[in-house]
Amino acid sequence: MQVPQDGEDFASQPWYHGPLSRQKAEALLQQDGDFLVRASGSRGGHPVISCRWQGSALHFEVLRVALRPRPGRPTALFQLEDERFPSLTSLVLSYVTGQRPLSQATGAVASRPVIRQGPIRRSFSEDTLRGSPALTELPRTRKWSDSQPAGLEHMGRSREDHCGPEASAMPTCALPRMGSDPMLLKTPAPLGSVADSLRASDGQLHAKAPSKPPRTPSLVLRDASGRPPTYCELVPRVPSAQGTPPGHSSPDTEAPWWEADEEEEEESRSFARPQAEVSFCPPNNPSCLLGPQNRPLEPRVLSTLRGLFLAHHPGSTALHLLLVDCQATGLLGVTKAQRGAMGVASGLELLTLPHGHRLRLELLERHEALALAGALAVLGCAGPLEERAATLRGLVELALALGPGAAGDLPGLAAVMGALLMPQVSRLERTWRQLRRSHTEAALAFEQELKPLMRALDEGAGPCDPGEVALPHVVPAVRLLEGEELPGPLDESCERLLRTLHRARQMARDAPKFREAAARRLRGFRPNPQLREALTTGFVQRLLWGSRGVGAPQAARLEKFQRVLSVLSQRLEPDG
């Protein structure tokens, strides 16, 4: 069995079966989507993903690409086709959670792991090893009667005296190595035969050198039928030498910005007077989903987004939202120039300061836009009642995936709950009744878990531990610092004011811990570019109000869209 590299204990993963033959792996794969990871005997113990798809068992070798040693960086990357990951676990997690094809040629999707039963075997079985071209080479027998320094201490002693009676049972390789020729395929000699294959020019101080690779690399050739090639364990897939596609990493590529370490320690930085207000919203880059001039709520874009969200399960969508929220809040991806301009190292500190006014407005805008988009996802379902109930269930599952202990993205959780608690959505009695009837677990989780949690977070009393939460709930503090009055009686509002201010001070103090917690959750995560763009503030604004309407005052835009949602809600379930 191949030892895990880089300190990664993927042998503890339930989907890793250790040394397992192709035939036994195929017997464990029963339905489409079943998959396991095994150490292939014919590939020298390299990990292979075995998956059943469209009634056939397919096998995909994971290549290990060695890197130059660098402090704090992995010594190897694990590659499947042209995409590389810092660990085997992150590779499997990315493809399974994102429901992406393991190869473009086959379209096979791994979705259901085959759980290993019992401990991992430490060696291959006899039938698996027989005939394998990757047999482990045994050290050759040393010549004890020679003129080399290693043999001086053994003069006068026979080989049998030194090795003992059991040494005669050691199999050796019968075919010697001929100069610089490629290593020939060897067959083990019969048990009990000892062949001395050392030549006069061979060194005798060490065991035999490892075998050389063949001169001609194994390539995947297109067959005569013109169909795209599929993986075979005897013919490994070689990465394309024409260059790395955009968005994919190369062996010497630095880690993504959300995984990069801070350039300087907090204690070594000196305070710099802020020069200007900082914005963490990316500029209006060309969109792959929207044209340069788009109208509000284009049906084509809405249909594309619906398919995009359906292709990702709630856990994957939650990580995409966490990544975008961390960038919008200034928790991850803050450049050195931005730190120098704002005088602090994190947006969690900046939003509590007077010159954080622009950031606070951006966070409020993002919260409102995401909540409106979530409500539109429900109210835009003009089809059967079950379709709207299924959309409600999807939002509830996304809120659970964003909660503490999971992704830990509390601003994202607040936006999703804002959509579910919006009056135009909460008044849909028949839709909520269908949710309780068809998706009882989601309905109970919404009433008994999510609503009390959201109430506590809004009052400044919810969970805020950096180990449990990656990004804290900043909306109450932002609203308060922007001058919004707290509802309720005076004595209750004063207590809530003190709790909110205390929570804001605690968030600013624990900003480095939140940064570490967020980076730990996103380590090894490879986002879908389209889904990541669909969750940015600028995209949601252009989707809801169009490229021209997004420049209108915020109050007018929100009021206009609230009227649109009210009309949609009345059409779905009229009063009376």
- Statement: residue 156 has pLDDT above 90: no
**Residues contacting residue 84 through CB under 8 Å, at least 6 positions apart:** 65, 77, 78, 248, 249, 250, 251
**For position 347, what pLDDT does the model report?**
93
- Statement: residue 186 has pLDDT above 60: no
**For position 274, what pLDDT does the model report?**
64
Q: Which residue has the tokens 């996103």?
A: 522
Q: How far apart are CA 402 and CA 463, in angstroms?
A: 13
What superfamily would CATH give domain 299-572? Ras guanine-nucleotide exchange factors catalytic domain (1.10.840.10)
Read off the pLDDT of each residue in 158-167 and give the average, rounded to a whole number. Answer: 40
Instruction: Give the percent of the chain with pLDDT over 90.
Output: 41
Read off the pLDDT of each residue in 3-21 and give the average, rounded to a whole number. Answer: 70
Residues 427 and 569 sit within 8 Å (Cβ to Cβ): yes
Identity of residue 282: P
Identity of residue 67: L
Q: Is 325 helix (H, G, I), strand (E, B) or coil?
A: helix
Q: Is 34 helix (H, G, I), strand (E, B) or coil?
A: strand
The strand pairing partners of 56, in sequence order, are 53
**For position 204, what pLDDT does the model report?**
40
Residue 287 — very low, low, confident or very high, per pLDDT cuts 50/70/90?
confident
Q: How far apart are CA 322 and CA 486, in angstroms?
A: 28
**For position 275, what pLDDT does the model report?**
61
Q: What is the per-residue pLDDT across 25-44, written as a single tens digit (0 to 9) for each?
A: 999 999 999 999 998 877 66
- Statement: residue 382 has pLDDT above 80: yes
Sign, CA dihedral 467-468-471-476, equals negative
Of the listed ranges 52-56, 224-228, 339-343, the one predicted with least confidence:
224-228
**For position 272, what pLDDT does the model report?**
59
Domain-wise residue ranges, the chain:
10-124, 299-572
Fold of the CATH domain 10-124: SHC Adaptor Protein (3.30.505)
Residue in 389, 385, 388, 386 with CA at minimum distance from that of residue 435: 389
Task: Please give the residue that has the higher pLDDT: either 105 or 29.
Answer: 29
**Residues contacting residue 114 through CB under 8 Å, at least 6 positions apart:** 15, 17, 28, 29, 34, 35, 36
Helix, strand, coil in percent for the chain, rounding step 5: 45, 10, 50
Read off the pLDDT of each residue in 46-68 and give the average, rounded to a whole number. Answer: 87
Q: Do domains 10-124 and 299-572 have the same CATH topology?
A: no
Q: How far apart are CA 141 and CA 127, in angstroms?
A: 26
Residue in 146, 142, 148 with CA at minimum distance from that of residue 162: 142
Residues 237 and 220 sit within 8 Å (Cβ to Cβ): yes
Residue 276 — very low, low, confident or very high, per pLDDT cuts 50/70/90?
low
What DSSP character marks residue 102?
Answer: S
Q: Using alpha carbons, list the distances in angstroms from residue 545 to 180, 306, 539, 549, 556.
A: 70, 18, 10, 5, 11
DSSP 36-54: EEEE-TTTTT-EEEEEEET
**Residues contacting residue 35 through CB under 8 Å, at least 6 positions apart:** 15, 29, 49, 50, 51, 52, 96, 110, 111, 112, 113, 114
Per-residue burial over 350-376, b if 16 or more Cβ lie within 10 Å, else e, is bbbbebbebbbebbbbbbbbbbbbbbb
Residue in 400, 401, 399, 394 with CA at minimum distance from that of residue 438: 394
Q: What is the per-residue pLDDT across 343-360, written as a single tens digit (0 to 9) for each?
A: 888 999 999 998 899 999
Residue 163 parent element (H or E): helix 159-163
Task: Please give the residue that has the higher pLDDT: either 63 or 447.
Answer: 447
- Statement: residue 547 has pLDDT above 80: yes
**For position 454, what pLDDT does the model report?**
95
Task: Please give the residue that has the higher pLDDT: either 258 or 264.
Answer: 258
Q: What is the per-residue pLDDT across 447-473, written as a single tens digit (0 to 9) for each?
A: 999 999 999 999 888 888 998 999 999
Q: What's the pTM?
A: 0.58
- Statement: residue 86 has pLDDT above 80: yes
Mean pLDDT of the chain: 76
Angle between helices 357-379 and 385-402 (to 10 degrees): 150
Residue 428 — very low, low, confident or very high, per pLDDT cuts 50/70/90?
very high
- Statement: residue 210 has pLDDT above 60: no
- Statement: residue 153 has pLDDT above 90: no
Identity of residue 298: E
Residue 335 — very low, low, confident or very high, per pLDDT cuts 50/70/90?
confident
